[in-house]
Amino acid sequence: MPKRTDIKVRFAAPEDAEQMSAVANSNFVPLEKLSERAHQGFTIWPRDQNDYANCIGSSSHVAVAEDADGKIVGHILAYDIGVFKQIAHQSGSKNPIHQYKEYPDTSIFLDQITIKPDHHGMGIGSMLDAFLRAHAPQSDLWITDIVHKPVKNEASVAFFENLGFELQDEVEHDGWILGIYEREIRHA
């Protein structure tokens, strides 16, 4: 039985990319099975290891959680919006975030969080978010998008709402309906 006390969070390094891809794929669910996984969460766009290596190289907001044996059991992938715009421009991707609003370059887009299924519910996702927040103290605005249709990613919605994210709107993207969520951090 995995124990939360054995988990360490640290910034990702390029050599983590292969394990990150494996973790994301462990939560991949084909379209016809999505409804069975709404309450555990699902990754619909896992990337290959080269993509993860590129993300690690481009962003200072990528972190992994590893167990006592040094095996990666989860990761969080986020970018400054300015960096994310460049990545999207280079890859030709049309992320709905850019079409939705002109966010300040210093805001952070939380692209993907994924924990190995046998480690869900242990607080690891929350640890990863806390780690990024602690290392990006001047970022006031955090943004993420979550699949709402054809099946709502209920686990992900509950997870992000628990962290203070609030639904702003729904947008259509490649046949999916995505909820746009924001979290504003107010400094004391």
Ligand X SMILES: CC(C)(COP(=O)(O)OP(=O)(O)OC[C@H]1O[C@@H](n2cnc3c(N)ncnc32)[C@H](O)[C@@H]1OP(=O)(O)O)[C@@H](O)C(=O)NCCC(=O)NCCS
Binding of residue 115 to ligand X (CB under 6 A)? yes
Comparison of 103 and 181: residue with beta carbon closer to ligand X: 181
Q: What is the closest distance, in whole angstroms, from the C-beta atom of residue 164 to ligand X in the complex?
A: 11
Contact 124, 74 (CB under 8 A): yes
Residues paired with residue 10 on neighbouring β-strands, in sequence order: 64
Residues paired with residue 176 on neighbouring β-strands, in sequence order: 173
Binding of residue 40 to ligand X (CB under 6 A)? yes
Q: What is the closest distance, in whole angstroms, from the C-beta atom of residue 46 to ligand X in the complex?
A: 9
Closest CA to 80 of 102, 106, 101: 106
Which residue of 13, 158, 169, 172 would you call a contact of ligand X, by CB under 6 A? 158
Binding of residue 126 to ligand X (CB under 6 A)? yes
The two three-digit tokens of residue 112, written as one number:
């993907």
Binding of residue 162 to ligand X (CB under 6 A)? yes
Cα–Cα distances in angstroms (integers) from residue 114 to residues 2, 63, 111, 125, 185, in the given order: 16, 11, 10, 8, 23
Binding of residue 107 to ligand X (CB under 6 A)? no
Comparison of 6 and 104: residue with beta carbon closer to ligand X: 6
3-state SS, 160-178, equals HHHCCCEEEEEEEECCEEE
Binding of residue 21 to ligand X (CB under 6 A)? no
Which residues here bind ligand X, judged by CB under 6 A? 27, 39-43, 112-115, 120-126, 153, 155-156, 158-159, 162
